[in-house]
């Protein structure tokens, strides 16, 4: 057999073997070296920068509503001690970060009269009790004139004092509406637990918190109702210290309270 015949025979055998492999499902040639299927080929396309991703972003989780959290915590409190603990543990009000103390209350919780003030000043923040500075001393003298005292053990002649805001606003500024709204569930629960016969709102902040209105100089002395209780608005003792002439109106308000209690 000549060389040409041998080449032709080898060619036919190779072609037949290739046809058999194709029929068997082979679709590529196996090389001498192993193939790394995880290795990126040279010149692989780079990820696009600045293009919108086809993967949808994770849904944004809404922030917790501090008013709803305050309402939940206050509603769970079944005693004044529990309410105090809930208030001390409430960290969503920025005022707390700059305060020394949480000013909760003072006086006899069995008192017929609950005085609701505005917010602690420097003296009250330092001592942790409401109305202890000059304004507090004047408040004590005013109510002593009609036979009421925060130190009285007798509910008939006692006072219970608290504030809308338990923490001092910086620079003694007025509390903002959002801050008042955040504390209102605690105030409402506080009043419900004490269950006084009369609420005395001293200043604009408690008037706004309980009625949604401002203008203490117009509202003072005019009885209304809030949280199911008789409400008497009065000017804040700080106003009386700055305007001694207004003490006559404050005395008239005290006499009106005395008559109401009788």
The CATH number of the domain holding residue 94 is: 3.40.470.10
**pLDDT at 15 > cutoff 90:** no
Model pLDDT for residues 45-76, shown as the tens digit of each residue: 555 555 555 556 655 545 679 999 999 999 99
Model pLDDT for residues 177-227, shown as the tens digit of each residue: 999 999 999 999 999 999 999 999 999 999 999 999 999 999 999 999 999
In a domain, 20, yes or no: no
Closest by CA to 134, choosing from 206, 251, 204, 237, is 237
| Distance in angstroms between the alpha carbons of the first and the last residue of the chain | 140
**pLDDT at 232 > cutoff 80:** yes
**Segment among 1-10, 91-100, 113-122, 243-252 with least mean pLDDT:** 1-10
In a domain, 59, yes or no: no
The total number of structural domains that make up the chain: 1
Q: Is the whole model's pTM more than 0.85, yes or no? A: no
Which stretches of the chain are assigned E, i.e. beta strand? 105-107, 113-117, 159-163, 198-202, 224-226, 229-234
In a domain, 12, yes or no: no
* Token pair 């305060």 in the structure block, residue: 99
Q: What is the pLDDT of residue 25?
A: 59
**pLDDT at 35 > cutoff 90:** no
Q: Which domain holds residue 218?
A: 66-261
In a domain, 16, yes or no: no
Average pLDDT of 140-157?
Answer: 97
Q: What percent of the chain has pLDDT over 90?
A: 74
In a domain, 135, yes or no: yes
**pLDDT at 4 > cutoff 50:** no
């Amino acid at each position: 057999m000549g060389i040409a015949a041998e080449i032709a025979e080898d060619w036919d055998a190779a072609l037949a073997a290739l046809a058999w492999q194709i029929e068997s499902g082979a679709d590529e040639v196996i090389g001498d070296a192993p193939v790394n299927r995880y290795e990126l080929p040279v010149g692989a396309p780079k990820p696009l920068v600045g293009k919108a991703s086809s993967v949808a972003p994770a849904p944004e989780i809404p922030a917790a509503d501090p008013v709803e959290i305050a309402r939940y915590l206050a509603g769970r409190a079944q005693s004044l001690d529990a309410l105090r603990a809930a208030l001390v543990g409430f960290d969503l009000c920025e005022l707390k970060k700059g305060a020394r103390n949480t000013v909760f209350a003072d006086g006899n919780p069995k008192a017929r009269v609950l005085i609701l003030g505005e917010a602690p000043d420097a003296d009250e923040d330092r001592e942790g009790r409401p109305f202890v500075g000059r304004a507090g001393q004047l408040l004590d003298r005013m109510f002593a004139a009609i036979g009421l005292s925060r130190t009285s053990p007798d509910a008939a002649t006692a006072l219970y004092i608290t504030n809308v805001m338990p923490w001092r606003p910086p620079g003694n500024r007025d509390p903002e509406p959002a801050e008042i709204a955040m504390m209102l569930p605690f105030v409402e629960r506080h009043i419900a637990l004490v269950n006084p016969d009369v609420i005395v709102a001293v200043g604009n902040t408690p008037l706004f918190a309980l009625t949604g209105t401002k203008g203490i100089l117009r509202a003072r002395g005019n009885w209304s109702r809030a949280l199911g209780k008789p409400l008497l608005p009065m000017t804040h003792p700080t106003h009386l210290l700055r305007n001694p002439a207004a003490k006559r109106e404050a005395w008239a308000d005290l006499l009106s309270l005395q008559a109401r209690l009788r």
